[in-house]
């Protein structure tokens, strides 16, 4: 389901007029559909059928407390990568037992906070990290359940900044050496070595590399079991792509999970996955108002009030986000760079893009902005961060206030 569509020439989300939200909440402003988020979560959950599983939503994609609370209420677990994300999930009422802690550089304080909260699993990325978790668990008199994150050495076929599964990447340990790592960790008495995890990259439009990784992990699990390790969990990470361009074709969540399920059926394994983008990406838009038009250097510029500080994906990954006018205006098309007010040439939302002709004052909706949008925003150039809004049951509310100038200087002397 696409939550955003035109009704009487006006763009609406789940029946709620986006221009009325912009008029009251101001711009730039992120708007998310609760229904779409829940639909995507359920698509994962239902597709596992009766295979034991936990869908651990990747908090990094969109960590707003209300979004987390929505997912916690639906039974979601959470994939976290920092103490800050742990704090958010606990504040949102997430079940600690369904939290998995990933990340290549966990600090002692973060590990200790996670042990104190009683999280479900640590996805460990190195031998020194295993040793640290063991010693901190010892001090607390607990046993930490851990999975080693292995690097299956597959090519994820995505942007090089968000591909993580090759040996040259900083993540995990080489799958070829994993057996040795488990053996060396065997004597660590405060670790329960019960799992194996992997994550090969993000925005994957082809599920085949993930399935290759699953096959490699399953082979490792067989070997580890033969060596007497009680491996009862496998975490296959996140990564499923979403449709940014009109002609993109992302794998369907149900089919993806079915292919995964077929590979783990009858293997006596609790399966975890960590989807982020595919749950929230398509569920959000960024609303921005056109400030100016100008033509310079033979190029047409649309200057909007949203910048790279609000949505950095185009600048950082050359990402494409569909841009549509919130009111269908019957004007023709134009080719323009849609840019923000920030003093950087790299501050753009689209370059050389064919869009409907727009004029100052018009509202634009930047599509598929629910994932890695607000969370990657900054206050560079003295720009307070945008408001976030949730559309739910036919109405809307602000779920994060627009930042103020006071917020910008908080903590400064
Ligand atoms: N699990 C781990 C260990 C991860 O590193 C990630 C994403 C996920 C799960 C969730 O992946 P997803 O299902 O969302 O693809 N900022 C970039 C994306 C970075 C992804 C980092 N890791 C972007 O805007 O495209």
Out of 276, 319, 371, 374, mutate this one to test ligand 1's pocket (max ligand atoms within 8 Å of CB): namely: 276
CB-ligand 1 contact for 61 (6 Å cutoff): yes
Give the Å distance between the CA of 200 and the centre of ligand 1. 9
Give the Å distance between the CA of 357 and the centre of ligand 1. 34
pLDDT at position 105 over 90: yes
Question: Who wins on pLDDT, 329 or 402?
Answer: 402
CB-based contacts of 395: which residues, under 8 Å, 6+ apart? 16
CB-ligand 1 contact for 242 (6 Å cutoff): no
CATH fold for the domain made of 34-279:
TIM Barrel (3.20.20)
% of the chain residues with pLDDT over 70: 99
Give the Å distance between the CA of 168 and the centre of ligand 1. 18
Q: Where in the chain is the domain with CATH 3.20.20.10?
A: 34-279
Q: Could you read off the pLDDT of 310-341 as tens digits, one per residue?
A: 999 999 999 999 999 999 999 999 999 999 99
Indicate which atom in ligand 1 lies nearest the CA of residue 376.
Answer: 16
Ligand 1, atom 23: nearest CA belongs to which residue? Answer: 372
pLDDT at residue 1, rounded to an integer = 66
The structure tokens listed for 249 are 């074709």
**CA 116 to each of CA 47, 61, 326: distance values in angstroms, whole numbers, following the listed order:** 33, 25, 47
Q: Where in the chain is the domain with CATH 2.40.37.10?
A: 4-32+281-409
Ligand 1, atom 19: nearest CA belongs to which residue? Answer: 162
pLDDT at residue 162, rounded to an integer = 65
Return the CATH class of domain 4-32+281-409: mainly beta
CB-ligand 1 contact for 282 (6 Å cutoff): no
Out of 40, 103, 277, mutate this one to test ligand 1's pocket (max ligand atoms within 8 Å of CB): namely: 277
CB-ligand 1 contact for 12 (6 Å cutoff): no
pTM: 0.97
pLDDT at residue 155, rounded to an integer = 80
Give the Å distance between the CA of 102 and the centre of ligand 1. 11
CB-ligand 1 contact for 310 (6 Å cutoff): no
Give the Å distance between the CA of 275 and the centre of ligand 1. 8
CB-ligand 1 contact for 276 (6 Å cutoff): yes
Q: Given pLDDT bands bounded at 50, 70 and 90, which one contains residue 165?
A: low
CB-ligand 1 contact for 58 (6 Å cutoff): yes
CB-ligand 1 contact for 210 (6 Å cutoff): no
pLDDT at residue 51, rounded to an integer = 97
> Is 343 an active-site residue?
yes
CB-ligand 1 contact for 233 (6 Å cutoff): no
Give the Å distance between the CA of 199 and the centre of ligand 1. 9
CB-based contacts of 118: which residues, under 8 Å, 6+ apart? 96, 97
- CA-based nearest residue to 365, from 311, 295, 401, 402: 311
Q: Which of 56, 124, 198, 343 is catalytic?
A: 343
Give the Å distance between the CA of 253 and the centre of ligand 1. 16
Q: Could you read off the pLDDT of 4-31 as tens digits, one per residue?
A: 999 999 999 999 999 999 999 999 999 9
Are residues 31 and 21 in contact, defined by beta-carbon separation less than 8 angstroms? yes
Q: Could you read off the pLDDT of 232-284 as tens digits, one per residue?
A: 999 999 999 999 999 999 999 999 999 999 999 999 999 999 999 999 999 99
The structure tokens listed for 199 are 């994550």
pLDDT at position 367 over 70: yes
Q: What is the mean pLDDT of the chain?
A: 96
Rounded mean pLDDT of 117-123? 98
CB-ligand 1 contact for 79 (6 Å cutoff): yes
pLDDT at residue 323, rounded to an integer = 98
Give the Å distance between the CA of 202 and the centre of ligand 1. 5
Out of 202, 217, 280, mutate this one to test ligand 1's pocket (max ligand atoms within 8 Å of CB): namely: 202
% of the chain residues with pLDDT over 90: 94
Rounded mean pLDDT of 50-77? 98
Rounded mean pLDDT of 124-138? 97
């Amino acid at each position: 389901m696409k939550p955003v569509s035109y009704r009487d020439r006006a763009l609406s989300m789940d029946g709620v007029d986006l221009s009325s939200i912009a008029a009251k909440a101001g711009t730039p402003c992120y708007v998310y559909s609760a229904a779409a988020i829940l639909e995507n979560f359920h698509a994962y959950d239902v597709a596992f059928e009766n295979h034991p599983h936990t869908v651990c939503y990747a908090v990094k994609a969109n960590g707003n407390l209300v979004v987390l609370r929505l997912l916690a209420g639906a039974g979601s677990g959470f994939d976290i990568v920092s103490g800050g994300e742990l704090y958010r999930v606990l504040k949102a009422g997430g079940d600690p037992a369904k939290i998995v802690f990933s990340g290549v550089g966990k600090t002692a304080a973060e590990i200790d906070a996670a042990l104190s909260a009683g999280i479900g699993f640590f996805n460990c990325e190195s031998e020194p990290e295993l040793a640290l978790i063991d010693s901190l668990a010892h001090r607390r008199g607990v046993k930490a359940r851990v999975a080693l994150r292995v690097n299956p050495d597959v090519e994820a076929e995505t942007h090089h900044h968000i591909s993580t599964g090759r040996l040259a990447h900083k993540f995990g340990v080489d799958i070829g050496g994993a057996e040795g790592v488990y053996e060396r960790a065997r004597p660590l008495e405060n670790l329960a070595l019960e799992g194996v995890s992997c994550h090969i990259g993000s925005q994957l439009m082809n599920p085949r590399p993930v399935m290759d990784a699953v096959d490699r992990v399953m082979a490792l699990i067989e070997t580890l079991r033969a060596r007497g390790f009680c491996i009862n969990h496998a975490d296959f990470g996140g990564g499923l792509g979403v449709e940014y361009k009109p002609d993109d074709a992302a794998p369907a969540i149900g089919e993806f999970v079915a292919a995964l399920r077929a590979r783990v059926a009858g293997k006596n394994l609790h399966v975890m996955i960590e989807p982020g983008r595919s749950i929230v990406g398509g569920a959000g838009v960024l609303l921005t108002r056109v400030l100016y038009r100008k033509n310079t250097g033979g190029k047409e510029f649309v200057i909007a009030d949203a910048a790279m500080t609000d949505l950095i994906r185009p600048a950082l990954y050359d990402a494409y986000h569909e841009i549509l006018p919130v009111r269908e205006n019957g004007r023709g098309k134009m080719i323009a760079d849609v840019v923000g007010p920030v003093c950087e040439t790299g501050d753009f939302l689209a370059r050389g893009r064919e869009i409907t002709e727009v004029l100052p004052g018009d509202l634009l909706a930047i599509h598929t902005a629910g994932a890695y949008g607000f969370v990657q925003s900054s206050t560079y150039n003295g720009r307070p961060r945008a408001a976030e809004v949730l559309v739910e049951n036919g109405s809307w509310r602000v779920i994060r206030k627009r930042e103020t100038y006071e917020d910008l200087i908080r903590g400064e002397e």
